[in-house]
Structure 1
Amino acid sequence: MALRFIGIDPDTGQQGSPTVWVDEKKAELVLQGWKPDSRLEAECAAFEVPGHASGIPLHEAVIRIPARMVPMLREACDVAERAGL
């Protein structure tokens, strides 16, 4: 997998930072983020979406990304969209 680095949260220093990459071969976003607290994770797991079971499958995860990274996410979406064409 060849990842294209898009950006890292500039406000978190050297202690691990939310990060955005794009897998251009698969046209997918790859995100590193903070783990949510148990209350938020439980709220996400309980959320019901028509046509989907509630809960978080073992092969998936909930992460938190700060809103200040929206420009990076937009860029990553554009890159992934171009890669998928």
Structure 2
Amino acid sequence: MSLRFIGIDPETGGGNCPAVWVDTVRKPEPELLFQGWLADAATQAECLRDSPRPDTEAIVRLPARMVPLIREACDAAERAWVR
């Protein structure tokens, strides 16, 4: 796996921060990876009404201030995607 680190939450002081990566060699297409805070039980229950969640998935929270990093990750994934 070759991950490209995009960045961490700009308002945190270091470790244990929400973060974003792109796996540019994943096939058939690149994937985005997110580290965030685990959603609480009430939030998870609300999300489950819209989309069932298997054991291999998680619901995480990322602060909106990370939108520029998420955009950068999306752009990197799109550039890496050979269609």
Specify the TM-score bucket, using the shorter chain as the normaliser.
0.7 to 0.9
- Aligned mates of 1:15, 1:70 — CA distance in 2: 19
Structure 1 match to 2:9: 9
Q: CA RMSD in A?
A: 1.2
Q: Following TM superposition, by how much is the alpha carbon of 1:12 offset from its aligned partner in structure 2, in angstroms?
A: 2.5
Structure 2 match to 1:39: 42
**Runs (4+) off by over 2 Å:** 12-15
- Aligned mates of 2:53, 2:32 — CA distance in 1: 19
Give percent identity, aligned residues only: 57
Residues 37-69 of structure 1, C-alpha deviations (whole Å, 9 max, x = no match)? 11001100112xxxxxx4211111111010000
Q: Under a length normalisation based on structure 1, what TM-score does the superposition of the two structures give?
A: 0.86
The answer on 1:20 being equivalent to 2:17 is no
- The secondary structure found in structure 2 opposite 1:10 is coil
- Aligned mates of 2:44, 2:71 — CA distance in 1: 25
Of Structure 1 and Structure 2, the greater strand share is in 2
Question: Which runs of no fewer than 5 residues in structure 1 stay unpaired?
Answer: 48-53
Q: Under a length normalisation based on structure 2, what TM-score does the superposition of the two structures give?
A: 0.88
Give the count of matched residue pairs.
Answer: 79
